[in-house]
Chains A and B, each alone.
Chain A
Amino acid sequence: QKEVEQNSGPLSVPEGAIASLNCTYSDRGSQSFFWYRQYSGKSPELIMFIYSNGDKEDGRFTAQLNKASQYVSLLIRDSQPSDSATYLCARGGGGGSEKLVFGKGTKLTVNP
């Protein structure tokens, strides 16, 4: 079982819709989770991090963490064509390590 799994997509939504991106992880000891956005040909850009169960909102983005079910999700409200990118879910390495373990990413396309 891969450590971090994402629905591979691609995911296509119309402009203005809510995009829902999901991620599951296998290590129950994981404490921190991150969402990165990567445009084609660019490096990953941090969107949000979440440590606690529940929701965390930042503008149009909401991260949700459920440690009991071992899943993390990212909701993008009022999706814009500029949100079209690959979204990477990652978990922290824990134990003082800065290592991140990434999923393979979900490609999102927002259609005008």
Chain B
Amino acid sequence: KAGVTQTPRYLIKTRGQQVTLSCSPISGHRSVSWYQQTPGQGLQFLFEYFSETQRNKGNFPGRFSGRQFSNSRSEMNVSTLELGDSALYLCASSSFDIMETQYFGPGTRLLVL
């Protein structure tokens, strides 16, 4: 099976802009979670989607949003970018066959200038 794919892999934006990141889960996986990784805070949970519904949300401002489509692909959007949003954004997919076991994509590295 192909792994989790994320696009784009690298992105440079300026403050105030918005960005949309995309994630395609492993075939057959219906749950997609998003994480932000920074050197200072480590890996932090953003949100989780299952069957097009957001099931869980981390402690991030409303500028961070996401959605999931009927084919389980997911997007996350960050509006009004701030310098502190520079991070590696990771998508993970999971199957309920092995509860909570998540497989990560390669990530999107976002740099906000």
Are B98 and A49 closer than 8 Å at their CB atoms? yes
**Distance between Cα atoms of A46 and B35 in the complex (Å):** 15
Q: Quick one: which of B31, B33, B99, B101 contacts A46, CB cutoff 8 A?
A: B101
Question: Which chain A residues lie closer than 8 Å to B35 at the CB level?
Answer: 100, 102
Interface-central residue, B35, B99, B106, by most chain A CB under 10 Å: B99
Question: Which chain B residues lie closer than 8 Å to A34 at the CB level?
Answer: 100-102
Are A49 and B101 closer than 8 Å at their CB atoms? yes
- Residues in B22-59 with C-beta less than 8 Å from chain A: 31, 33, 35, 42-45, 48, 50, 55-56, 58
Interface residues on B, range: 20 to 34
Interface residues on A, range: 20 to 34
Interface-central residue, A98, A102, A104, by most chain B CB under 10 Å: A98
Interface majority SS on B: helix, strand, loop or mixed? Answer: strand
CB contacts between A and B, total, < 8 Å: 64
Which of A20-28, A37-45, A53-61, A73-81 sits within the interface? A37-45
Asked if A32 CB lies within 8 Å of chain B CBs, one says yes
Interface majority SS on A: helix, strand, loop or mixed? Answer: strand
Q: Quick one: which of A46, A92, A96, A102 contacts B43, CB cutoff 8 A?
A: A102
**Distance between Cα atoms of A46 and B90 in the complex (Å):** 14
Q: Quick one: which of A98, A101, A103 contacts B94, CB cutoff 8 A?
A: A98
Interface string of A2-28 (1 = CB under 8 A from B): 000000000000000000000000000
Residues of A within 8 A of B (CB): 32, 34, 36, 42-46, 49, 88, 90, 92-93, 96-105
